[in-house]
Structure formats: C-alpha cells, structure tokens
Structure 1
Amino acid sequence: MPRAHREPLGPHAVALNIKAPTSTPRPPLRFEAADGGRILLRQNTRTVLLAKVEQANQGVHLTRFEGHTSPLPPIRTAHNPNWPHQYARWLEDSPNTPLHPSRWHLYARTTFPPYVWHAPDLVRTWPTAHLDWSAHGWHGIVPLRPLSPPDAPRVKAYRKRAREGTLPPVLLWWVTAFDGWLLLDGHDRAVAALEEGGTPPCVVLARVPDEEDWRRDAAEMTESHGEGNQGDLTFRPRPDTHLAHALAALPYQAAPTRSWPLPGGAAAWDQTAARAMFQFPGD
C-alpha cells in the first residue's frame, strides 16, 4: 500500500489520504458482502465474523470466530502524546490492516455516552450477538475476541496502569454497516479500564469522504444557503457561524464503510454459516 499523505490536525488527530494508481486493492482486514444483507469480515484468508441484517432493518445478527489478529504491534511504551499519529504509522505498515486507498480519520476519544461502554451495547457475549437498531440506531462496541475475566493476569497488570493514567488507548473502527464500532486492539486494556470504573481511552478509526466528495457537498450547501436568502431585501451578507461549522465538519464526517463483493455470493456465505452451525432467528 502506498504511503498516505498526512493532514495534521494537532496532537490528538490525523487524517490520512491514501491514493492508489489504479483500482482499489482489497485490504487484509475487509468486509465482503452478498445479497440479502449478508456480511463477512475477512482477515487475509481467515473469516473472523459473519453477520446478517434483519429483513425489516431492525438490527443485525452476528457471530465471530477465533483467530483475529490485531493490526497493531504489542505496545511497550506507557505514554505517547501523539497516539493517533503512532497508530496511523502502525496501521500503514501492518499486514492485518483495514486501511485501503481513501481518506481516513484517526482521533483520540475519551468520553462516550454511558450506553456505549457501561451498558449492554458493549457486546460481552461470545460468539453470537444481536445488534438492536429498533431504538434509533445502536452505537455499541463489538469485540473481535472474547473479553478476558477481571482476574486475568494481563487485566490485573493493566488495571494498575489504568489507575496511574498510563493505559495506552484501545483501537476502535467505526463501521457504518453495524452503526457501531469494532474493537480491533486493546481488549484486555478495555476490561481493565472498565473494572477500574472508567472509560477506556480510545483512538477511533473512521473512513471519511474523499476530497472531491466533501468539496461537492460544501458547494451544494453554500449554494442552498444563498438561495434561501433570495428575495429578502433586508438581507446583508455576514458571517454565518452555523454554516461555517457545518462546512468545517464536512471533511471529517464518517463516510460509509467500504465492502467488496463476497466471492461466491450468497451461496458461499450460507455455506460458511452452515459450517459454523450459525442460524438466525426467523430465517
């Protein structure tokens, strides 16, 4: 994968603009999709997750498989003031990365609504789960390996660092198909922070619009704003803070998570699900 052009956004965020000379290659960690709301998450040649969207779009049934490999190397250092920048470098070099040619936003996040980490929207069951969209979306977290018990040795070691405030952030990937995040790295660190009564520090990875897309949206928004004032004889052009804030946010709003066609289509997905003895209610 070619090196990304960096858009520095201060010590707590960075945007990557990855360009490919021709077609977009499939990254090592990628979603593949087939008809009927069938979704598969593949890491290299290994299937790590199967999911299916309910017919009425009320949620997603999913199951996960052992074998997910973190896209980050083991984190030795206790403190790095530029964690998003460091994670970006590691993701660029990783053989297990989800990065593909596009624009990406990595940013530090330490606060979430209570239901994200401290309620059922953190999926603690393994391997199956149901993501409930019926209450205006979901916005929860799906771990890609079983969460360790609180008395696990690694969790105990991380709990001390959580109390000291030196716990490296976990890595979350925003996935629009789930309306939530996948936990890519830091499962034991997350458990440690939660056991200490806190929220895990996070670096969030999200795909954001390509430049031509957000510039087109900005032009349309500006034109629409101007048209709304036509015919007002008292109108005087002046700075509009709401419009300015909306325009400034456009380049970093989450874009749809990319997926690729599943080889073999729905039949291949069904065969994989059957081998896993995975059955969806109502199907």
Structure 2
Amino acid sequence: MTRATREQLPGDGLVLAVPDGRPGPPPLRFERAKGRGWVLRQGERPLIQARSEGDGCCRNLHLRRLPGHRSPLPPISAATMRSRTNWPHRYGRWLEETAHGPLHHGRWMLTPRTTFAPGIWNCDLVRDWPDATLELLCGGGWHGVLPLRPLPAPDAPRVKAYRKHAREGTLAPVLLWWVSFLDGWLLLDGHDRAAAALVEGMQPACVELVRVPDDADWRATAEKITEVHEERVARLAARPAGPHTADQRQALNRGYADVISTLPYDADATPVFERPHD
C-alpha cells in the first residue's frame, strides 16, 4: 500500500489518510449477501456469515464465524511489549504494510481506548463459537466486542505468559475495529492478550481503529453548520441587548467551536462492498 499521510493527535493518537492507490476492495471487508445478510471476508475466505431476522427496528442478527482469520498485525515479542512504544503509531504502520487488514481509501483514526460502557468486556463480549445471536437495539446497534476466533482457555500456554505481562502493566493493547452498523467492535488482534487481561480481572488495554469522514465530507458539513450558526448570531445581534446577551453569544460560539472541532474525527459509516460478479 502507498504510505498514508499522518496527522498527529493529542494523547498518542493519529489519523491515517490513505490514498486511493489500491485497486479493488480492501483484503478485510464486509460484503452484501442475499436478503438482509452480509459476509466478512479476508481475501476470498469468509470469516463471518450473518443474517438479520425479525420485523421492526429491533431484530436478531445471527452470526456464524468460520476459522481462518489472520491477524493484520505481526506477533509482538515480550521485548517489544516491555519497550516504550507508541502503540497507535506502531499499529498504524503495521496496518499500512499488511495484506490482511481493512484499510482502504479515506481517513482512519487510531487512538488508545481506555473507557467503555459497563458490561462491554463481560456480558457484551461474545464468547460463543462458532454461532452467536446478537439482539440488536432499535436502530440496529448492539454495542459489544466480537472476537474473530475463539478466546483461549485461562490455562493456555500463551495466556499464562501474557498474564505476567498483564500484572506488570506491559501487555500490548488489543486492536479493535469499530463497525458502525453493529455499533460495536471486531477484535482484530490480541485474542490471547484479551483473555489474559480478563483472567487477571482487568479490562484489556485497547487501540481503536475507526473510519472517520473524508476531508470533503466533513468540510461540507462544517459549511452547513457555520451557516446556521451565523444566522443564530445575527438573530441574537438584532435583538435589544439585555443582561444575558453576552453570555448567550458566548454559549453560541462555544457550542459552535465544540461541534466544528469534532467533525473531522466523528465515526463514519463502515462501508459494505458489493460482491464482484464471478
């Protein structure tokens, strides 16, 4: 892959602006299936086959996961984990180089993820394999973590080795991919590390991969928001000044600045590709 342009973010994060230099869809991608279904593929290998059932906005999503997932990251040595590493930047470089990842044209944000809603890493972590049913909330969301291979047992050799790192605070973070239509995450790398942290009673450290809007898209949205903001400011200025006018103007400007500053980094829709005709 052609190298992405990097934008540094506060707190060790970054945005990768991936150029449109790769023909066809990315190696790891969602594809539409017949009816209300989709497939997650890595290359030509299906990893998840899913179908939605039920009427109305609250439906069940039935999943069958298949073996063969290949991590987009290389194995991480104990020495690397104990080094002082900026994990989002290192994972970003590996994702650029891999032949098994989801990156394609557009902007992708990689940031440390330290807080989750209650239950994400226990009751909303899918442990059933290979079949599972997700109860989607109204609007289609679910909000949990979906592993792409079975989580290992607590006494598995690699889990035992990683538990020591978890206790030492040197365990490399897992890599999560935020999927908009699931309102949840796929666990792309770190199944053994996640299991080790959970056995130790810890929430796994995470790096989150999120597709964010292209520059043209968020700038177009910013223009519309700016027009509305200017109209509100003009209406306020046309009124007789009162004791709270200055505070109202300040609140308008502060709200406008807050919204504009987050637009380039809001999660964008995860694309679902059409299956090429054979």
- TM-score between both structures, scaled by the size of structure 1: 0.87
Matched, 1:2 2:2: yes
Are 1:168 and 2:147 matched, yes or no?
no
CA apart distance, 1:24 = 5.9
| CA distance in structure 1 between the aligned counterparts of 2:138 and 2:198, rounded to whole angstroms | 25
Give the 5 Å matches for 1:56-75. 56=55, 57=57, 58-75=59-76
Q: Secondary structure at the match of 1:240?
A: helix
Distance, in Å, in 1 between the alignment partners of 2:215 and 2:235 is 33
Q: Residue 161 of structure 1: SS of its match in structure 2?
A: helix
Q: Which residue of 2 aligns with 1:231?
A: 235
Aligned length: 263
Q: Which shows bigger deviation, 3-12 or 177-186?
A: 3-12
Query: 149, 154, 161: which is aligned to 2:153?
Result: 149
Measured after TM superposition, the shift of residue 55 of structure 1 is 4.3
Work out whether residues 11 and 82 of structure 1, in 8 Å CA contact, stay in contact via their aligned partners in 2. no
**Structure 2: distance between partners of 1:143 and 1:128:** 12
Pairwise CA distance, 1:251: 0.5
Task: Report the 3-state secondary structure (helix = DSSP H, G, I; strand = E; otherwise coil) of the residue aligned with 2:235.
Answer: coil
Tell whether 2:51 aligns with 1:38: no
Residues 157-196 of structure 1 mapped to structure 2, 5 A cutoff? 157-196=161-200
- TM-superposition CA deviations, 1:128-170 (whole Å, max 9, x none): 1112123673210100000101111111111110000000000
SS in 1 for 2:120: helix
Q: Aligned Cα RMSD in Å? A: 1.9
Counterpart-to-counterpart distance in 1, 2:212 and 2:100? 20
TM-score by length of 2: 0.89
Unaligned runs of 5+ in 2: none
For 1:70 and 1:229, locate their aligned partners in 2 and report how far apart those are by CA, in whole Å: 51
**Which consecutive residues of structure 1, in runs of 5 or more, have no partner in the other structure?**
269-283
User: For the residues of structure 1 that align with 2:137 and 2:28, how far apart are their CA atoms?
Assistant: 29
Deviation at 1:247, TM superposition (A): 1.1
Structure 1 residue 184: Cα displacement = 0.4
The aligned counterpart of 1:260 is 273
- Amino-acid identity (%): 51
Give the whole-Å Cα distance in 2 for the aligned partners of 1:187 and 1:221: 42
User: Which position in structure 2 is the counterpart of 1:13?
Assistant: 13
Alpha-carbon distance in 1 for matches of 2:121, 2:276: 35
